Structure 1
Amino acid sequence: MQLQVTNSPFTQEQVELLNRLLPNLSDAQRSWLSGYLTAVQSTSFSAPSATNVASQSTAQAATQAPIAREVTILFGSQTGNSQRLAKSLSKKLSEQGLEVTLTSMSDFKPNTLKKVQDLLLLVSTHGEGDPPDNALPFYEFLHSKRAPKLDELRFSVLALGDSSYEFFCKTGKDFDQRLEELGAKRLTDRVDCDVDYDEPAAEWFASVSGALSNASSTAPTQSSVATISDAQGESQYSRTHPFQAEVLENINLNGRGSSRETRHLELSLEGSNLQYEPGDCLGIYPENNPQLVDQLVSALGWNADEQVSVNKQGEQRALRDALRNNFEITVLTKPVLEQAVKLTANEGLSKLLAAGNEAELKAYIKERDLLDLVQDFGPWNATAAQFVSILRKLPARLYSIASSNQANPDEVHLTIRAVRYETLGRDRFGVCSTQVAERLEIGDTLPVYIHQNPNFKLPANPDAPIIMIGPGTGVAPFRAFVEERAELGATGKSWLFYGDQHFLTDFLYQTDWQRWIKEGALTKMDVAFSRDTDQKVYVQHRMLEKGRELFEWLEEGASVYICGDEKHMAHDVHAALLTIIEREGGKSSEEAAAYLANLQQQKRYQRDVY
């Protein structure tokens, strides 16, 4: 098992050093080191200094104190939100005097579950109701016949999700229901969080903290119920306090004649003290299209300068500014429609929400925005203040970072494809992507923060080979991977599979890849341009063509990374990997699946898919 910051008391630097050292030790060396550490520990307590006496007195006092209640915190996280929340909760409960064990669901040993007293689960839902990759083993165990009766267990679940998806917080709901079926008792009720999760998560923290305090007769400290965003590293800037980053460069990467527009955006982080690693994302708080905002205000006959509240603290802004900067107007969700039905006498919306109309409701939500809702189900019996109170906050957009912090101090680079399409007779636009493409000039600023993703990271060993699969803008983090390795002089082999529509117009960062191949930072590159041939060719086809060599890399210890579209590409690439392992490794389909699952367990199969 590889050491991690989350499953050990070591820092990230110490973990990386130990992971390089320990696999290379012989049994004799391990035994000697174990004895040496024991001797060092004994020696450190041999001298009866005043400090040691005080330490021994403290230890004796601790042994006389009541045994602290043990709490196990498990997280299932695809992009890192649940993991960050779990670490914050662990810190607060430890300050409260509780014995806390914090671990990823993938690293938790299910056969120890019956020994757990109090279990806190923090888990997101990925794709169409699926568990995150690192939650899947525990999820499958708990839903199998091997799951034990848990009559002595108390639990609580914090579920993260996005209410614009049909299966909102489904993984958290599944865990909550299954634990109840196995006999466990709820410590506190499950809380389901939308994309704006700070306040409900903090309330769940306080509820759990209070319940555990009552059980262990330990009074909660003020810090134990503080907000969840009080620890974001050394920088003062965070998700709840973004940095205004100046635009240094904004270039269209696609050639003339391309049907696509992909912007290479360079932002200054100077003065922010924000740090990032390859695999992390940058969060941007965007602005809604001003044209859409004006159409919405006009359709409802409101005064654009009317003051409305934009948060629970009662902060007031002009309606036009609030709709542009604070509220989501391009995405509909079922909860919004369920609140909107109270504000109109139009029976059509009630019928749409009626039981039995799930398919029709899903189709309506998928294709429309707030302006459609306003136009379809008026007249509206609501003031501007009442109407905006039912809207979700405008969430940040996350983009994979396309640069190395080591190679570009005080800068961050992004790869953003403009989203434009027409439906129901009206042009539609991606909120952040078209802001970047159409309304963002050099010298402008964007509110940003670093979104760390601990589940998509380069191997600690710079000599380890890596295989990267990233078509389209999915190639962004791999530009950071290769640039980082080039900057640090890593010697491990690297292989990139890249695809897009046309070689001449859509080969993103072509000169960068060519330079890194020439310099040796990138060992191999295979490309697939789907519209340049009669038969469409994608990255998974190139992988299958090179299946034997790819499997040899896996056997040599290569880590595999996938970034891009989850619904189609990621599934097709996963299937191609299984085929290659089965065919080239001489394995059955079950053995190939187990092989790939083992890679995932070893953190050698990582995905950043959306």
Structure 2
Amino acid sequence: MSTSTAPAFVHALLGDARSAHLFELLQGLDAHALNWLSGYTAGLAARAPLASVTTVAPEAAPAVPFTIIYGTQTGNSRLLAERLKQQVESAGLTARLFRASDYPVRELAQEQLLCVVISTQGDGDPPDDARGFCEFILGKRAPRVEALRYAVLGLGDSSYPRFCEVGKALDTRLAELGATRLLERADCDVDFEPVAKGWLDQTFARAREALTPRAPATATVLPLREQRTTPAFNKESPFSAEVLLNQRITARGALKDVRHLELSLEGSGLTYAPGDALGVWPHNPPELVERLLSELRLDGTLDVTRDGRTLPLARWLSDGLEITKLNRPFLERHATLSGSTALRDVLQPGNPEAFRTLLASHQLIDVLRAHKANWEATELVQALRKLTPRLYSIASSPLRVGEEAHLTVSVVDYTAFDLRHFGAASYHLATRTAGTDAVRVFIEPNERFRLPEDSDKDVLMIGPGTGVAPFRAFIQERAERGARGRNWLFFGEQHFRTQFLYQTEWQEALKKQTLHRLSLAFSRDRAQKVYVQHRLREAGRDVYAWLEGGAHLYVCGDAQRMAPDVHEALVDVVSTHGGKSREDARAWLETLREQRRYLRDVY
């Protein structure tokens, strides 16, 4: 081995002279001598650890790895699974990491150590990338796994009645199949870090105990690797992006206020690809903060401490806590303080519909007004959920716009119970002034919502309302790359005249043949409502021909009604024009999903 073959970071670590001397000494040594040296140097490191180098103890790599599987819709489960894998590997142990859709389920019968980190979407649904995995585990084909030790971490939102339902179901099912829990399941709310960190540490400790050989083992040499650099700006340390443009793109008189925003990422080093999301850290509306303080008769200047931070109460309510969304833990405490029988009834486990209705129709201020209670400032701050960032599909391609990110935002601003109500992030964005204000942002990658690598492939996009945002990015990207595949967009809104988002852009794209087909559905322009799923059925023959010919299919938008309705329309299309039973049509679409040709970004 010559010094010229030494990695650059070894030279940087030891210096040219010392690295040259090291590799000169190592030349000619056999495997036995190298193994002995690795154990000897590891022992030295244990007594006097180097500040910049992590030295792995000389343990033999176990024959059985620790398998980690994640299912995610927004990326949080992936981040936690990657963190656990890094912990395991930092101890010199072997770990395998799989997205649930990539995991070969036939291997489950042979697994001995398994961790599943999985989110629950909406009211009890698995994330799109875990549907097949969950169906296998929960179905009749799942094997007995008596030799398996496992752990499940669930992520969810306690605003929904079936909180962390997917994690609970998998945890129960694996036990039914004969597996033994390595650790009790944990359920994380939207603010997942407090629960997740401790659970991951415990799981790592149990896994290390299970994987570490009990008898002394021959030392193994682990290759040196350069440390990954953490981006300067991320979720915990967002970038202040200047607002370049804040333009309403629905006409006067429209039922919705939809904004097109352009934000500068210049100098941030942040990069993204079409399909990614921009995370936005909002401030709650000042008018709502003042109303809450008045309703509760609390002093906004009073200092309150939580999690080691001391802030005035008004500051907590402004940018530290959720005040536009409700969640079960707060409601349960408020029911106790208020003594409200009606609120207690809504929160009963056997009353999920009433709970759903409450969450959909009420904000925090409504509950406080309807069910009076006396809150102390400290208890209120402890009871409310931490404010979390909102994710918006990026509506631009960096090949077209450079160091900018564009957003399509529907502003939540309505009147109910004689009060004006707001959405925290959308109202925050809508009230930013171009050229003056900035927004705290970060990039949230979305690897499961990508354009096909083969630009000759056709692309079929279904995006009603603001769900059209990523498809603006897709069409820009395909145009800039000179993609030869065809692009077909299905778009729907309420009214053609006032709510045809990006109308002039689509018309220009049609002229330039960077958009080849545009199917429109405006639901309130005629007596009988028409939605994108109706247009899918009407164009069913061509839709099926595109899919049969290899097209990639994308759906973005509302998860509760639109996405299921579109899926049923696709089942109808495949059944009718593919000559298949409905069961076979569903299986055919599931195959597209497994091939990553049917991708959804729904919320």
Q: TM-score range by the shorter chain?
A: 0.7 to 0.9
Against the structure 1 CA distance between its residues 522 and 59, is the aligned structure 2 distance closer, same or farther, given a 3 Å change threshold? farther
Pick aligned residue for 1:457 from 430, 450, 458: 450
- The code of the aligned residue for 2:291 comes to Q
Against the structure 1 CA distance between its residues 54 and 346, is the aligned structure 2 distance closer, same or farther, given a 3 Å change threshold? farther
Summarize deviations over 1:92-135 as a string: whole Å, max 9, x none: 21222221111122222222112111100011101220111221
Against the structure 1 CA distance between its residues 55 and 286, is the aligned structure 2 distance closer, same or farther, given a 3 Å change threshold? farther
Q: What corresponds to 1:303 in structure 2?
A: 299
Instruction: Please state whether the residue corresponding to 2:150 is helix, strand or coil.
Output: strand
- The code of the aligned residue for 1:319 comes to L
Q: What corresponds to 1:76 in structure 2?
A: 71
Pick aligned residue for 1:146 from 118, 141, 144: 141
Contact conserved, 1:79 with 1:455, CA < 8 A, in 2?
A: no
* 2: CA distance, partners of 1:450 / 1:114: 38
Pick aligned residue for 2:278 from 270, 276, 282: 282
Against the structure 1 CA distance between its residues 581 and 53, is the aligned structure 2 distance closer, same or farther, given a 3 Å change threshold? farther
Against the structure 1 CA distance between its residues 155 and 50, is the aligned structure 2 distance closer, same or farther, given a 3 Å change threshold? same
Q: What corresponds to 2:173 in structure 1?
A: 178
Summarize deviations over 1:515-563 as a string: whole Å, max 9, x none: 2222222121111222223322221222222211111111211000000
Bigger shift: 552-561 or 143-152?
143-152
The 5 Å alignment of 1:208-357 reads: 208-217=203-212, 235-309=231-305, 311-312=306-307, 314-341=308-335, 343-344=337-338, 349-350=343-344, 353=347
- The code of the aligned residue for 2:89 comes to S
CA shift, 1:579, in A, is 1.1
Query: Are positions 1:445 and 2:441 aligned together?
Result: no
Q: What corresponds to 2:370 in structure 1?
A: 376
Against the structure 1 CA distance between its residues 233 and 248, is the aligned structure 2 distance closer, same or farther, given a 3 Å change threshold? farther
Contact conserved, 2:337 with 2:373, CA < 8 A, in 1?
A: no
Query: Are positions 1:581 and 2:574 aligned together?
Result: yes
Contact conserved, 1:245 with 1:268, CA < 8 A, in 2?
A: yes
Q: Tell me how large the CA RMSD over aligned residues is.
A: 2.5
The 5 Å alignment of 1:8-23 reads: none
Instruction: Please state whether the residue corresponding to 1:566 is helix, strand or coil.
Output: coil
Pick aligned residue for 1:564 from 547, 557, 564: 557
Against the structure 1 CA distance between its residues 239 and 300, is the aligned structure 2 distance closer, same or farther, given a 3 Å change threshold? same
Q: What corresponds to 2:113 in structure 1?
A: 118
- The code of the aligned residue for 2:122 comes to G
Against the structure 1 CA distance between its residues 393 and 464, is the aligned structure 2 distance closer, same or farther, given a 3 Å change threshold? same
Contact conserved, 2:279 with 2:390, CA < 8 A, in 1?
A: yes
- The code of the aligned residue for 1:390 comes to A
- The code of the aligned residue for 1:271 comes to G
Q: What corresponds to 2:382 in structure 1?
A: 389
* 2: CA distance, partners of 1:202 / 1:476: 34
Pick aligned residue for 1:482 from 475, 491, 494: 475
Instruction: Give unpaired runs (5+ residues) of structure 1.
Output: 1-48, 220-230
Summarize deviations over 1:160-210 as a string: whole Å, max 9, x none: 111111111110111111111111111112111111122322222211111
Contact conserved, 1:97 with 1:218, CA < 8 A, in 2?
A: no
CA shift, 1:439, in A, is 5.0
TM-score under structure 2 length normalisation: 0.86
The 5 Å alignment of 1:521-600 reads: 521-600=514-593
Contact conserved, 1:234 with 1:273, CA < 8 A, in 2?
A: no
Aligned residues: 549
Contact conserved, 1:346 with 1:379, CA < 8 A, in 2?
A: no
CA shift, 1:154, in A, is 0.5
Contact conserved, 2:59 with 2:92, CA < 8 A, in 1?
A: no
- The code of the aligned residue for 1:211 comes to R
- The code of the aligned residue for 1:269 comes to L
- The code of the aligned residue for 1:198 comes to E
Contact conserved, 2:432 with 2:438, CA < 8 A, in 1?
A: no
CA shift, 1:256, in A, is 2.3
Q: What corresponds to 1:38 in structure 2?
A: none
Summarize deviations over 1:373-393 as a string: whole Å, max 9, x none: 32333341x421121111101
Instruction: Please state whether the residue corresponding to 1:389 is helix, strand or coil.
Output: helix
CA shift, 1:350, in A, is 4.9
The 5 Å alignment of 1:351-370 reads: 353=347, 358-370=352-364
CA shift, 1:366, in A, is 3.3
TM-score under structure 1 length normalisation: 0.85
Against the structure 1 CA distance between its residues 105 and 54, is the aligned structure 2 distance closer, same or farther, given a 3 Å change threshold? farther
* 2: CA distance, partners of 1:338 / 1:538: 39
* 1: CA distance, partners of 2:469 / 2:561: 18
Instruction: Please state whether the residue corresponding to 1:203 is helix, strand or coil.
Output: helix
Against the structure 1 CA distance between its residues 498 and 56, is the aligned structure 2 distance closer, same or farther, given a 3 Å change threshold? farther
Q: What corresponds to 2:494 in structure 1?
A: 501
Against the structure 1 CA distance between its residues 83 and 586, is the aligned structure 2 distance closer, same or farther, given a 3 Å change threshold? same
Contact conserved, 2:463 with 2:556, CA < 8 A, in 1?
A: yes
Pick aligned residue for 2:159 from 151, 164, 168: 164
* 2: CA distance, partners of 1:466 / 1:53: 57
Q: What corresponds to 1:131 in structure 2?
A: 126
Instruction: Please state whether the residue corresponding to 1:407 is helix, strand or coil.
Output: helix
Contact conserved, 2:59 with 2:212, CA < 8 A, in 1?
A: no
Summarize deviations over 1:387-423 as a string: whole Å, max 9, x none: 1111101111111100012222211000001122333
Instruction: Please state whether the residue corresponding to 1:592 is helix, strand or coil.
Output: helix
Bigger shift: 160-169 or 94-103?
94-103
Summarize deviations over 1:436-491 as a string: whole Å, max 9, x none: 22354442011111111111111111111110010111100000001111112211
Instruction: Please state whether the residue corresponding to 1:259 is helix, strand or coil.
Output: coil
Instruction: Please state whether the residue corresponding to 1:330 is helix, strand or coil.
Output: coil
